[in-house]
Amino acid sequence: MKKRWKLLLGIAGIFLVIAIAVVLIITKNRKTAETAPEFVLLYAENQTEDYPTTLGAYYFADKVYEETGGRIKILVKYGAELGSESEVLQQMKYGGIAFARVSLSQLAEHIPEMNVLQMPYLYSSSEHMWRVLEGQIGDEFLLKTGSFGLKGLSWYDAGARNFYSTKPIRSLEDIRGMNIRVQESAMMADMVSALGAVPSKIVYSEVYSALEQGLVDGAENNWPSYESMKHYQVARYYTIDEHTRVPELQLCSSAIWDKLSAKDRKIIMDCARDSALYERQLWAEREKSSRKIAENSGITVIELTAQEKARFREAMSEVYTKYCGDQMDILQKIMEY
Ligand code: GCU
């Protein structure tokens, strides 16, 4: 009799476990169905997976997902999977890509008045640039993205850009005649020409092989790009002249923005701003660690003397006339900010 009871209890136990499992599976499926996102949106980033701007993008995507209760899901595609920055901007115009982080220099190709924010030797320091971007001028320029079918969300940090090359650059004479890779930007090309060098517009993902194959003698970028794209392995001289600080923008396609409710727009805007603060923290750390990695590999770091830097700066006067001739008021304001 005892044995029979035990057997019955055992069978009942097995049924109970199966029943619980079935209930759990059904509930889980229902939950997934209930929280299926209303929007699944693409976010383009051309840097590597662990780069500060990419980590900022993930932070943004996670926060938006959380704050909208899973209604808006953002898929971050890094490493230029969705195309170069200029291709991404074209696709955003039509809503094919919803979000991106791009370098201002690419946007300035479509909205030339943006150039004033990235002029050579414009900012005296990172703090100076952030005072400008976080103030009224920064807000006004975020709005200007509307003329290219975009909604500017926030500013990201990209530090200062310096030259790096296969032969040392210690003076204006050294850079003269060198073939220097620049972004796909008219202003950057003119800046390099003004120094007496020959600019080559090459897409970011191709810079390593252009340096390696000797198609160019040098390029220019910040420490984290120089390190993460492995340019330091093929261009062993890094000349600190901090010729530009090119801010970066987090953008939303207007075609997508217009479809969102006021509540969702506010969530996106807030999350973008939070992610930008997060990115700036990561940036400061990455600048240091990237520099260390490059230096430990045995590169030569050259600091331009103050006198030489003044010569580089003076060479820029024609670039200022060409790109800021009709924006002298705003230029003055930025300089004095
Ligand atoms: C920086 C910037 C990129 C840009 C690159 C370039 O790394 O973050 O967005 O593409 O410069 O020089 O092209």
Atom of ligand 1 nearest to the CA of 53: 8
User: 208-249, pLDDT tens digit by residue?
Assistant: 999 999 999 999 999 999 999 999 999 999 999 999 999 999
Atom of ligand 1 nearest to the CA of 101: 9
Q: Cβ distance 336 to 272 under 8 Å?
A: no
Query: Beta strand 300-303 with 237-244: parallel, antiparallel or unpaired?
Result: parallel
Site to substitute for ligand 1 among 162, 200, 206, 225, most atoms within 8 A of C-beta: 225
Task: Count CB-CB contacts under 10 A for residue 67.
Answer: 17
For ligand 1, the distance from its centroid to the CA atom of residue 253, given in whole angstroms, is 20
pTM: 0.90
Contacts of 137 (CB under 8 A, 6+ apart): 117, 330, 333, 334, 337
Q: Is 105 in the pocket of ligand 1 (CB under 6 A)?
A: no
User: 247-305, pLDDT tens digit by residue?
Assistant: 999 999 999 999 999 999 999 999 999 999 999 999 999 999 999 999 999 999 999 99
**For residue 227, how far is the Cα from the chain centroid?**
15
For ligand 1, the distance from its centroid to the CA atom of residue 102, given in whole angstroms, is 8
Site to substitute for ligand 1 among 157, 221, 228, most atoms within 8 A of C-beta: 221
For the chain, the average pLDDT equals 93
CA dihedral 25, 30, 31, 33 (to 10 degrees): 130
User: 96-121, pLDDT tens digit by residue?
Assistant: 999 999 999 999 999 999 999 999 99
CA distances from 150 to 93, 153, 246, 278 (A): 7, 9, 19, 23
For ligand 1, the distance from its centroid to the CA atom of residue 20, given in whole angstroms, is 53
Atom of ligand 1 nearest to the CA of 158: 8
For ligand 1, the distance from its centroid to the CA atom of residue 111, given in whole angstroms, is 18
List the one residue out of 165, 167, 164, 199 whose CA is nearest residue 183: 199
Sign of the CA dihedral with 125 first, then 127, 133, and 136 last: negative
Q: Is 46 in the pocket of ligand 1 (CB under 6 A)?
A: yes
Return the ∠ at Cα 274 (arms to 97 and 276), rounded to 5°: 65
Q: Is 158 in the pocket of ligand 1 (CB under 6 A)?
A: yes
Contacts of 16 (CB under 8 A, 6+ apart): none
Question: 20 falls in which pLDDT band (50, 70, 90)?
Answer: low
Q: Cβ distance 256 to 164 under 8 Å?
A: no
Question: 33 falls in which pLDDT band (50, 70, 90)?
Answer: very low
